[in-house]
Amino acid sequence: MTMTVLNQDQTDLARTVAEIARAELGPYAQRMEETGEFAHDLVERFVEWGWLDLLVPEEYGGDGAGATEWVVMTEQLSRVSLATCSLLEGYGPIVMLRLFGTPDQQKRFFPVLRNGMGCFAGTEPGAGSDIAAITTRAVDKGGYWVLNGAKQYITNGGVADFIAVLATVEPGAGPSAHRLFFLDRRTTAGVETTREEQMIGIRGGSVAGLTFTDVEVPAEDMLQAEAFKAVQVMMDYGRPSTAGMAVGVASAAIDCALDYTLEREAFGRPVYDFQGVSFMIADMATQTEAARLLGYRAAAEVDAGGPRANELSSMAKTFATDVAMKVTTDAVQCLGGAGLMKDYPVERMMRDVKALQILGGTNQIQRLILSRALKKARR
């Protein structure tokens, strides 16, 4: 694990998270994979370890960490289990509250997010990559708003205590009509989980549909900043962390490939000694290290508030998840027939990382963002 680009505190965080993850997460990960059920008891452990409030400001009891620390954490957790790492997807509301929330909103809502699940409800049946096309409607009733609509594929949607909901005051009017609302689900009527999805991987993580039926939200619980901008900044934090997840899984897949091919013999010598295998693993390691460094670079730009935050975040997410897909596929190949069996974790890793190429903005959309940025920079 290369630490040269991290400071001492970040290095210590990586080591601590890695030690706890290796010692504690295995049984939870196995149970989630086998049953496909969300591990509510693991949420309590995440609270105990202080992982849910890493991004919460210190004045509200958190660590006040930045995007780089978030990448460090997701990488180390995903080395053990990407499914358990999905519990951290409540970062979205935390980031928006931290950067754009009013002092009153922060005071009331950070305690909820420090001790439970959060989620961002943006994607809809007809608005995924084109999030500007949302139709969930917000109507101003004077002193409060009423929300009606449906969301789809919401990570942590079925288990979240706190929801940040993106809605529009005029469907079809684009981002200028967007508004963002904070909901404490424990005290808000009209929010229902319509469906818990079963994905190809990340089994045990909650990905759900939500409906909002005449949901009343006090005016003071609406984000005062421009909603679309807040979502973009949230994504700038999230995409490097997705890169961290991808790197974590890829690193674990390399370890599995190494262990197996060094021990397994064919034609009287270890499988690793055949260049067709050892060169493949060398490429896997090189690509993963490059993805790791790009993820750190993007996170550092986000933490600095740099002008390339959006561009580098998209690069990191795209490159790292594509690398992880290739690395895990190659790891299955290195194990041969054994790689297809559930006795070895590489087939799970391959299924898990496929989701990362799609969730949080498909890699095709990331390339669209990047191509536009490159064109704009030439003008």
Q: What is the pLDDT of residues 163-205, one digit of tens each?
A: 999 999 998 898 999 999 999 999 999 999 998 998 899 999 9
Q: Tens digit of pLDDT for each residue in 250-297?
A: 999 999 999 999 999 999 999 999 999 999 999 999 999 999 999 999
- 3-state secondary structure (DSSP) of residue 179: strand
Indicate if the pLDDT at residue 218 is higher than 60: yes
Biggest CA pair distance of the chain:
80
Question: What's the pLDDT at 2?
Answer: 41
Average pLDDT (317-331) is 98
Q: What is the pLDDT of residues 129-166, one digit of tens each?
A: 788 889 999 999 999 999 999 999 999 999 999 999 99
DSSP state of 226: -
Say if CB 29 and CB 84 are below 8 A apart: yes
pLDDT for res 1:
39
**Sign, CA torsion 349/350/356/358:** negative
**What pLDDT is attached to residue 358?**
92
Say if residue 128's pLDDT is above 80: no
Q: Tokens at residue 223, please? A: 């984000």
The predicted model scores a pTM of 0.94
pLDDT in tens, 250-260: 999 999 999 99
Amino acid at 121: A
Going by pLDDT thresholds of 50, 70 and 90, the confidence category of residue 3 is very low
